[in-house]
Copies of this chain bind each other. A is one copy, B any other.
């Protein structure tokens, strides 16, 4: 791709102020020079990246229900978690799947990777599919509490209508699964 075309409205950094360094995210405010020569500020959240798995067993998907403090409610989501420093995304996906559901797999297929909110965050989420699963043991992080269940596509679509499922990665996974059932390929 031609950089001069694809980045033609590039915003160059004039200065960058670090606001916060946390356990999961950091925040900075950049002053940028716009294509018209004016300046503007950009509020930017830095995130280490995340992984998630559409894990299918006997025509059901594995989901976990957990409390999401930013939303002040519980949500049903596919197994997911953030990358550890230097961790390979596919290894992270296997690790999170096993930690949260007890299921192990050696055959993960990369489905897609997407930025969750490119207007203010650099978080990228790598989404995988696993179809050959082996039951093992659940072992959660010490501050992690969740329940695992397996649901059909129809149940997943019902959960979306009820807003029990309402996050980007799980809705994307449910669409991918539906397309797979309709076309035979992801």
Q: Do residues A120 and B70 form an inter-chain contact, with CB atoms below 8 A? A: yes
Q: Do residues B117 and A123 form an inter-chain contact, with CB atoms below 8 A? A: yes
A66 to B67, CA, bound (A): 35
The secondary-structure label for the interface of chain A is mixed
A13 to B179, CA, bound (A): 41
| Surface stretch bound by B, among A54-62, A86-94, A107-115, A131-139 | A107-115
Q: Do residues B29 and A67 form an inter-chain contact, with CB atoms below 8 A? A: no
Q: Which residue of B is nearest A122, CB measured? A: B70
A112: B residues at CB distance < 8 A: 160, 166, 171
Q: Which residue of B is nearest A124, CB measured? A: B166
Q: Is A116 an interface residue, CB under 8 A from the partner?
A: yes
Q: Is A22 an interface residue, CB under 8 A from the partner?
A: yes
How many copies of the polypeptide does the oligomer hold? Answer: 2
Q: Is A44 an interface residue, CB under 8 A from the partner?
A: yes
Q: Do residues B77 and A118 form an inter-chain contact, with CB atoms below 8 A? A: yes
A40: B residues at CB distance < 8 A: 143
Q: Is A176 an interface residue, CB under 8 A from the partner?
A: yes
12 extra interchain contacts, Cβ-Cβ under 8 A, other than A7-B74, A71-B122, A125-B168?
A9-B145, A10-B67, A10-B74, A19-B20, A30-B69, A34-B145, A42-B70, A47-B117, A68-B119, A77-B118, A112-B166, A117-B121
